């Protein structure tokens, strides 16, 4: 079914991080431990999926009918900021420990390019998952968003695992920290390129 | 150092900021509406100019659509001195390696391909994107050919087109788009002859 | 004489605000901010340059606006206010680019609206513009933007050179280039190595 193709495409073929470069800042900043990476990815999946749902509705039921598509950037980022605020408040109430663990990374999800990026992508271009290119409907958009976020998580956790090992190895002084992380990410991206043409 | 965070202050500040921002954006929108439309038309016109012989009309405003196999295609007639010198046809295909490719294919009034131009694509840079004019000789081979005797498929499939190395899928999609454009052209040429005949 | 020296000193300080963005506080290689556009738009020197200029426009304008309103904004709503102002500036940029630089607008694609969440812009607004004068904030915006533009152009030039044997569209030698550098992995790798070189350079001159 098309949904499976959407998921495979978003997680492997067009990985939001390794192929489209969205979400690189937290990727480089958070991924030194597998546990924090997994936690952050979970939060990101949640926010991206909900955000895309709301921005999709906003785009097609408010912006387009009123002819104010140029307000898209402002409207979308406000929705995302509000959503993250809400998530923070809810998380504080239901799971204070998780809230503590995520710390500053939670509000930082607002500036995660992946969230705004995916929201804009699903309403801007036509997709073809093995068929004719078309604009996504709401269900497909939400699945695509969730799958993209999943791809982000997969890349982050893989990367964190590698970084944990790197920390224990002999890295030349000049390469320590961000440079070696970037080069490693490049090799990871190279390996994901092997999925090209799958869908 | 900032104002006190009372509810009244917060609401009033947010409202004022929203008003200022809306004014900024609305103003920019109104100012740029015409230039944006003009830029869009200029883009289409320049791609039309690349693919048909010299014309003196405004193909964008003379555009009409032709139906083929349930899909409609935009046709831009190019005229010189009132006579049609060629047709530029927008031909999309979904079968590119990276998805959708849209070509503008121009035919002269003698039925040959005058030139082709890529309007949009998502092909791999350095591989499939060699189909873009200037990046390789791929698109040059279509110039001046009459699809009636130049088979529009890659040599691998028994046709006359030299594919781009390592980009067979892109080359195939390109040929498909040109073939579709040719079919649409034939419909236009037919309609044109019928028109001329009925006008005599 | 004293007044002249004073004026010269102030001018040098202001000039410093601009030049610090190039090396000491280079957003790409030192602050490691704004990575998404750095990786995504540097497929050629021209694209990197264009993106840098676009970001500089937003950075400067938003710095000005925010430093103007900072004192009037209650602390609790400052982040939403900054975001709205930045988003408005980005929208203005989008409209201007669509009208006057449509080719670049299409090439940069989704990265233009993404300037809104470019950590550099919000970061600068919060860390500098909200606490300094309008003039200082303007200079700071221009300075950091300049550093960003320089970085993007250099990364773009190297990727373009290695990937298609050309720079700014001018073919330098008649070879095909190593494709991988224009594709995703190349972006990460080039940036990584450039960072090493930059750090070595920086430690040598300080």
Enumerate the domain spans of chain C: 23-205
Determine the angle formed by the axes of helices A138-168 and A113-124, rounding to 10 degrees.
Answer: 150
Q: How distant is the Cα of C6 from the closest Cα of chain A, in angstroms?
A: 41
Question: At C200, which helix (H) or strand (E)?
Answer: helix C184-205
Pairing of strands C170-171, B113-120: unpaired
Q: Is C168 left (phi over 0), alpha (psi -120 to 50) or beta?
A: left
Chain B touching partners, 3 or more CB pairs below 8 A: A, C
pLDDT of residue A130: 62
What strands lie across the sheet with B99-108, from one edge to the other? Answer: B64-68, B71-80, B83-96, B99-108, B113-120
Whether the CB of B21 is below 8 Å from some CB of chain A: the reply is yes
Q: What residue in C sits closest to B40 (Cα-Cα)?
A: C102
pTM over 0.90: no
Spatial neighbors of C151 by CB under 8 A, at least 6 apart, are C26, C27, C28, C29, C38, C52
Residue C113 has pLDDT above 60, yes or no: yes
Cβ of residue B120 closer than 8 Å to a chain A Cβ: no
Residues C90/C116, Cβ–Cβ less than 8 Å: yes
**DSSP for residue B162:** P
**Cβ B127–C77 below 8 Å, yes or no?**
no
Mean of the per-residue pLDDT values for chain A? 85
Mean pLDDT of the A130-144 span: 80
Which residue in the block uniquely carries the two structure tokens 């070879």? C175
Nearest to C39 by CA among B7, B181, A15, B24: A15
**What are chain A's partners, defined as 3 or more CB pairs within 8 angstroms?**
B, C
* The predicted structure's pLDDT at residue A132: 65
Nearest Cα to Cα of residue A180 among B199, A188, C90: A188
Nearest CA in chain A to C79: A81
Cβ B97–A71 below 8 Å, yes or no? no
C89 contacts B40? CB cut-off 8 A: no
C108 interaction partners in chain A (CB closer than 8 Å): none
DSSP state for residue B121 in the 8-state scheme: -
Cβ separation C188–A113 shorter than 8 A = no
Tell me which chain B residues have a C-beta less than 8 angstroms from the C-beta of C102.
39-40, 43
Number of domains in chain B: 1
CB contact under 8 A, C32 and A178: yes
Contacts of A113 in chain C (CB under 8 A): 36, 114, 117-118
Quick: pLDDT tens for C50-88. Answer: 999 999 999 999 999 999 988 888 888 888 889 999 999
Res B34: pLDDT:
92
Position A115 scores a pLDDT of 93
- C-alpha span between C87 and C89 (Å, rounded): 5
User: Which chain B residue has its CA at the smallest distance from A193's CA?
Assistant: B124
Query: pLDDT averaged over chain C?
Result: 88
Q: Does residue B142 sit within a domain?
A: yes
Whether residue C204 lies within 8 A of chain A, CB to CB, comes out as no
The CA distance from B94 to the nearest CA of chain A, in Å, is 6
Residue range C7-17: mean pLDDT, rounded: 83
Query: What mean pLDDT is predicted for residues C38-43?
Result: 89
Residue B32 lies in a domain: no
Residue C40 near chain A (CB below 8 Å): yes
Identify any residues that bridge with B84 across adjacent strands, giving them in sequence order. B79
Q: Say whether B153 sits in a helix, a strand or coil.
A: coil
Query: Are A126 and B97 inside 8 Å of each other by CB?
Result: no
- Chain B residues with beta carbon closer than 8 angstroms to that of C183: 124-125
Bridge partner residues of B117 (DSSP): B104
For B26, the closest chain C residue by CA position comes to: C92
- Give the helix/strand (H/E) hosting A5: helix A2-8
**Are B21 and C88 a contacting pair at CB < 8 A?**
yes
Average pLDDT over residues C26-49: 88
Q: What is the DSSP string of A86-104?
A: HHHHHHHHH-HHHHHHHTT
In B, minimum Cα distance to A127 occurs at B99
Residue indicated by tokens 């003009």: B38
Q: Report the residue of chain C nearest A176, measured CA to CA.
A: C196
Cα–Cα distances in angstroms (integers) from residue B145 to residues B107, B149, C41, in the given order: 10, 8, 38
Distance from CA of A145 to the nearest CA of B (A): 19
- Tell me what pLDDT residue A57 has: 92
Question: Would you say residue C112 has pLDDT above 90?
Answer: yes
Q: C173 phi and psi, to 5 degrees?
A: -145, 160
Highest-confidence segment of B10-19, C11-20, C50-59, C194-203: C50-59
| ipTM rounded to 2 decimals | 0.85
Angle at A125 between CA A119 and CA A129, to 5 degrees: 100
Number of H helices, E strands in chain B: 2, 5
Q: Look at A120 and C110 and tell me if their CB atoms are within 8 Å.
A: yes
Question: Which positions of chain B have pLDDT values less than 70?
Answer: 1-3, 200
Give me the total of CB pairs closer than 8 Å, taking one residue from chain B and one from chain C: 88
Domain limits for position A13: 2-195
Q: How many CB atoms lie within 10 A of CB A195?
A: 17
The residue to which tokens 């070189």 are assigned: C197
Q: Output the pLDDT for position B2.
A: 57
Q: Is the CB of residue B29 less than 8 Å away from at least one CB of chain A?
A: yes
Cα distance between residue A184 and residue C188, in whole Å: 8
CA distances from C153 to C28, C50, C52, C128, C186 (A): 12, 8, 8, 25, 15
What CA–CA distances, in Å, run from A28 to A25, A99, A157, B86, C117?
A: 5, 21, 12, 55, 16
Asked if the structure places residue B60 within a domain, the reply is: yes
Collapsing DSSP states into helix, strand and coil, what is residue A61?
helix
Pick B100's closest partner by Cβ from A70, A71, A133. A133
Contact A182 C189 (CB under 8 A): yes
| Residue-level pLDDT at B135 | 77
Neighbors of chain C by Cβ distance (3+ pairs < 8 Å): A, B
Q: How close B82 gets to chain C, by Cα (Å)?
A: 32
d(CA C164, CA A159): 29
Question: With 70 as the cut, is the pLDDT of residue A198 above it?
Answer: no
Domain containing B172 equals 51-199
Mean pLDDT of C197-206: 82
Output the pLDDT for position B1.
45
- Name chain C contacts of A182, Cβ cutoff 8 Å: 188-189, 191-192, 195
Nearest alpha carbon to residue A116 among A151, A84, A161, A163: A84
Instruction: Nearest chain C residue to A181 by CA: give it.
Output: C192
C179 touches chain B (CB under 8 A): yes
With tokens 């812009």, the residue in question is C121
Q: How far apart are CA C106 and CA B133, in angstroms?
A: 18
CB-count burial class (<10 Å; 0-12, 13-18, 19+) for A50: buried
Residue B164 located in a structural domain: yes
């Amino acid at each position: 079914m098309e949904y499976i193709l959407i998921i495979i495409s978003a997680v492997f073929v067009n990985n939001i991080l390794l192929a489209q470069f969205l979400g690189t800042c937290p990727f480089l900043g958070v991924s030194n431990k597998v546990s924090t990476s997994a936690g952050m990815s979970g939060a990101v999946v949640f926010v991206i999926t909900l955000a895309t749902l709301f921005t999709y509705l906003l785009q097609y039921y408010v912006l387009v009918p009123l002819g104010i598509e140029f307000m898209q950037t402002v409207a979308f980022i406000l929705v995302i900021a509000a959503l993250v605020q809400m998530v923070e408040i809810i998380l504080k109430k239901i799971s204070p420990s998780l809230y503590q663990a995520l710390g500053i990374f939670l509000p930082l999800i607002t500036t995660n390019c992946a969230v705004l990026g995916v929201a804009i992508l699903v309403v801007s271009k036509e997709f073809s998952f093995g068929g004719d290119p078309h604009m996504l409907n709401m269900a497909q958009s939400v699945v695509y968003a969730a799958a993209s976020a999943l791809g982000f998580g997969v890349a982050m956790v893989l990367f964190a695992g590698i970084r944990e090992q790197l920390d224990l190895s002999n890295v030349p002084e000049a390469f320590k920290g961000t440079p070696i992380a970037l080069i490693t990410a490049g090799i990871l991206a190279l390996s994901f390129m092997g999925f090209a043409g799958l869908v | 150092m900032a104002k006190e965070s009372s509810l009244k202050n917060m609401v009033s500040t947010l409202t004022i900021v929203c008003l200022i921002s809306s004014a900024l954006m609305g103003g920019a929108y109104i100012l740029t509406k015409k230039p944006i439309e003009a830029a869009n038309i200029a883009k289409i016109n320049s791609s039309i100019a690349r693919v048909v012989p010299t014309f003196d009309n405004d193909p964008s405003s003379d555009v009409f659509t032709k139906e083929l196999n349930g899909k409609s295609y935009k046709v831009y007639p190019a005229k010189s001195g009132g006579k049609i010198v060629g047709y530029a046809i927008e031909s999309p295909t979904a079968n590119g390696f990276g998805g959708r490719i849209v070509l503008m294919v121009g035919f002269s009034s003698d039925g040959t391909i005058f030139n082709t131009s890529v309007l949009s694509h998502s092909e791999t840079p350095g591989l499939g994107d060699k189909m873009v004019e200037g990046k390789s000789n791929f698109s040059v081979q279509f110039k001046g050919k009459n699809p009636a005797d130049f088979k529009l498929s890659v040599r691998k499939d028994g046709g006359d087109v030299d594919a781009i190395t390592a980009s067979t899928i892109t080359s195939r999609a390109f040929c498909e788009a040109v073939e579709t454009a040719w079919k649409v052209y034939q419909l236009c040429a037919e309609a044109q002859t019928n028109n001329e005949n009925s006008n005599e | 004489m004293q007044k002249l020296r004073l004026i010269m000193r102030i001018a040098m300080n202001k000039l410093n605000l601009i030049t610090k963005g190039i090396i000491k506080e280079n957003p790409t290689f030192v602050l490691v901010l704004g990575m998404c556009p750095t990786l995504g738009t540097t497929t050629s020197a021209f694209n990197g340059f264009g993106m840098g200029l676009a970001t500089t426009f937003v950075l400067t304008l938003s710095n000005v606006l925010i430093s103007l309103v900072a004192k009037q904004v209650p602390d609790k709503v400052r982040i939403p206010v900054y975001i709205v102002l930045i988003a408005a500036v980005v929208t203005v940029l989008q409209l201007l680019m669509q009208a006057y630089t449509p080719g670049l607008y299409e090439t940069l694609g989704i990265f233009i609206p993404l300037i809104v969440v470019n950590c550099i812009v919000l970061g600068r607004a919060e860390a500098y513009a909200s606490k300094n004068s309008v003039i200082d904030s303007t200079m700071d915006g221009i300075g950091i933007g300049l550093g960003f533009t320089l970085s993007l152009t250099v990364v773009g030039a190297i990727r373009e050179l290695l990937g298609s044997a050309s720079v700014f569209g001018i073919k330098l030698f008649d070879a095909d280039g190593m494709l991988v550098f224009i594709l995703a992995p190349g972006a990460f790798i080039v940036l990584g190595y450039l960072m090493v070189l930059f750090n070595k350079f920086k430690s040598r001159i300080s």
